[in-house]
A and B are shown apart, each in its own frame.
Chain A
Amino acid sequence: MTTTIVLQQAINGIVLGSLYVLVALGLTLIYGVLVQINFAHADFVTLGAFAAYFFMHLIGAGYFLSIGVALVLGAALGWLINASIFTPLRRKGNELLPLIATIGVSVMMQNLMLAWFGPIPYAFETPYSSQVIRFAGIFVSWQNVIIIAVSSLTIALLYAFMKFTFLGKALRAVSQDRETAGLMGINPNQLIMLTFVIASALAGMAGAMLAPVLVLTPFAGTSVIVKAFAIVIIGGFGNVEGTILAGLIVGLIESYTTQYLNPGLIDIVVFALLLLMLAIKPTGLISERREENV
């Protein structure tokens, strides 16, 4: 009986972790290249979820097509935010201003969604969300399996992109040293735009996949965003492998804390871990050394 519980919570933790990783991936990408935090990222996720919902339930399209729509919408939003906020503010060189601007955008988006969609939670059912796989006394819903599968696929694709394509290498170059990359004929601004678009597309897609799992209100994104930030830091800013590892760890912490302690303590444990990491190894679980020019 106890082994079943431990195993089940392990699976629950991995599922939760994948949920967080999906949201955090975009954040870590943006940070790696831009050294910026986008507070509106959570709201891209929420909007992606709603887009998928309405596309599916109003137009009657299939689930996977709806995910595609959310992805495109996220990409468009990312382009818009980068063009209107990050690019103009980058010239001013202040780290805080874009952060505040994205807070303003976040407030706007949440309240616009509130005005459009209302506060009552939407029940997003897909063909997969109620079907459950059972084996050896353990259960997992098909929706969660899809989440894990699609996020693994996405991560693999992203990884390959970063390591093996020219664009990917250029992205890494820009994140390590923007000026030198510029000297080598890479246009940093275009690459930053590309990163933003990819990251926001990921956010939209994450929203669509998570919509059946989340309590779908305009405030859905905010329920995960702060933990997503914590994961990005614990894993190491800008580091994809680190984010994945950290996400899974946080997911497991959550399920085991729920089992043996109290769900109310989850945030304390996760953020205590965050502070511990920052105290001991600020660059994250898997880090690249960054030199700072004097």
Chain B
Amino acid sequence: MVTRCRALFVGVAVIGYLAASQAAHAQDKTIKIGALFPISGPGSYFGAQDKQGVELALEQLNKTGVNGYKFAVQYEDSSCAPLPATQAAKRLIEQFRPDVIIGEECSDATLAVMPVIEQAKVPLLNAGSSSIKVTEPGNPWTFRIMPNEVMQGVNLAENAYKRLNARTAVLLFENTNAGIGNAQVFKDTFTKLGGQVLAEIGFGRDVNDFTAIATRVAGLSKIDVIPTYTLEGQGLKITQALAQSGVTKGGGGGTIQIGTIWLPFGFEQKAGKAALGYIRIVQFDPTETRDVVKDFTAAFKAKYNADPTHLNAHAYEQIMLIADVVKRGGKDPQSIRDGLAATKNYSGVTGSVEFDRTNQNTKMDTVHYMETKPDMSWTSLKWN
């Protein structure tokens, strides 16, 4: 008799608890976003800027919420390497239980976390890794906003051949997954079109002085374009060295340096005259006249007192896209995944977003071309 009473009591208490927690949950509508960014080590170059973009987006969204939902972000340090990234992903999934995850930046890390996140049935939204392997196999849980190395590389090579009439090229790239991958795509396309690659020069991330490389390049016969794949630190040194050796336009030569989205806005100001005539793909142009870009740039400047870079823009875009999905009814991992896949006519700060069946955003207006003018500002080349 006593035991049955106790059991009944416990049963009521449990039901009461469950009911109460449901009610509490109903008021407590938050979309949980996990963020896998490199926060320690050299990769923090990406993480620090990503965080700025995320924070700005959160600030704007949480003023009013979307569809009654607020947004919460949990950052985990993925260190731009496979093992720490999978550790960070597991920790995120098990302890924070996110509805959606954004990240990583480095291709190796992204490729390593994809299976973990897929197994947890959480959508992963990526805006930083260029390796084709991220989307090519067609993972239903991985989405990429930015144009991959094939989209950029093929387009760049074709434009170099057709619009710039380039027939010879020298490839300069950092010895990483992204550097080698991007250079390879350019080479394949360029040679298929009939161009000739005179040299492929890969260098480690620890090289500081590029005069030796510039000298070697200067010693080659007439070069039309130099596709360069490196981040801004080394990029600066390369551009200056190439100008000093008289190879590129900035140094009085005829060769044009070309590149993809890796270099931020503001690079030209740091490089000075050496960057004259540099033509590259940018994913974000703060001088664009579209309202969404103007508003973002103004808000960013107001908060951080600096012009936003493409990394800031990518991160902002990821959060904003998620907010758009929530507006369309997404509220948990599965519905957010479906919402992402169904995205149409979305126009963000870096361009439009629409995913193909491998969940790669194929809108080419994310690939803008710029040429550096003598006053170091950009001319937008209407090549796309």
Binding-face segment, B142-150, B203-211, B282-290, B347-355: B203-211
Bits for A127-141, please: 1 = Cβ < 8 Å to B, else 0. Answer: 000101000000101
Question: B203 is contacted by which of A1, A111, A139, A263 (Cβ under 8 Å)?
Answer: A263
A255 neighbours in B (Cβ, 8 Å): 211-212, 215
**How far apart sit A51 and B216, CA to CA, in the bound complex (Å)?**
34
**How far apart sit A223 and B234, CA to CA, in the bound complex (Å)?**
12
Please report the total number of A residues contacting B with Cβ < 8 Å. 41
Given A16-B209, A215-B237, A255-B211; 6 other pairs, CB 8 A cutoff: A118-B48, A123-B270, A215-B234, A258-B216, A259-B216, A262-B201
Residue A230 lies at the interface, judged by CB distance under 8 Å to chain B: no
Question: B272 is contacted by which of A111, A130, A132 (Cβ under 8 Å)?
Answer: A130
B203 neighbours in A (Cβ, 8 Å): 263-264
Question: A263 is contacted by which of B44, B213, B236 (Cβ under 8 Å)?
Answer: B213
Please report the total number of B residues contacting A with Cβ < 8 Å. 37
Residues in A lying within 8 Å of B, measured CB to CB: 1-2, 4-5, 8-9, 12-13, 15-16, 19, 111, 114, 118-121, 123, 130, 132, 139, 141, 213-217, 219-220, 222-224, 254-255, 258-259, 262-264, 266-267
- Which single residue of chain A is at the shortest CB-CB distance from B232? A121
Whether the pair A222, B206 counts as a contact (CB closer than 8 A) is yes
- A114-B40, A123-B270, A258-B213 are contacts. A263–B204 as well, Cβ < 8 Å? yes
Whether the pair A5, B209 counts as a contact (CB closer than 8 A) is no
A219 neighbours in B (Cβ, 8 Å): 41-42
- Which single residue of chain A is at the shortest CB-CB distance from B237? A215
- Which single residue of chain B is at the shortest CB-CB distance from A1? B219
Whether the pair B212, A259 counts as a contact (CB closer than 8 A) is yes
Most B CB contacts (10 A, CB to CB) among A8, A111, A130, A215 go to A215
Whether the pair B244, A132 counts as a contact (CB closer than 8 A) is yes
B47 neighbours in A (Cβ, 8 Å): 119
A118 neighbours in B (Cβ, 8 Å): 44, 48
Residues in B lying within 8 Å of A, measured CB to CB: 40-45, 47-49, 175, 201-209, 211-213, 215-216, 218-219, 232-234, 236-237, 240, 244-246, 270, 272
Whether the pair A123, B213 counts as a contact (CB closer than 8 A) is no
A121 neighbours in B (Cβ, 8 Å): 45, 232-233, 236
Sorted from nearest, which 7 A-B pairs have the closest CB atoms?
A: A121-B233, A223-B206, A215-B233, A258-B212, A119-B44, A255-B212, A119-B45
**How far apart sit A216 and B245, CA to CA, in the bound complex (Å)?**
22
- A121-B232, A121-B233, A215-B208 are contacts. A9–B270 as well, Cβ < 8 Å? no
- A12-B212, A123-B270, A255-B212 are contacts. A264–B42 as well, Cβ < 8 Å? no
Whether the pair A123, B212 counts as a contact (CB closer than 8 A) is no
- Which single residue of chain B is at the shortest CB-CB distance from A140? B211
A258 neighbours in B (Cβ, 8 Å): 201, 212-213, 216
- A1-B219, A258-B213, A258-B216 are contacts. A114–B44 as well, Cβ < 8 Å? yes
Whether the pair B212, A9 counts as a contact (CB closer than 8 A) is yes
Shortest CB–CB separation between residue A212 and chain B, in angstroms? 10
B44 neighbours in A (Cβ, 8 Å): 114, 118-119
- Can you list 13 contacts pairing A with B, beta carbon distance less than 8 Å? A2-B219, A5-B215, A5-B216, A120-B232, A130-B272, A139-B245, A139-B246, A223-B207, A224-B206, A255-B215, A258-B201, A259-B216, A264-B204
Whether the pair A111, B40 counts as a contact (CB closer than 8 A) is yes
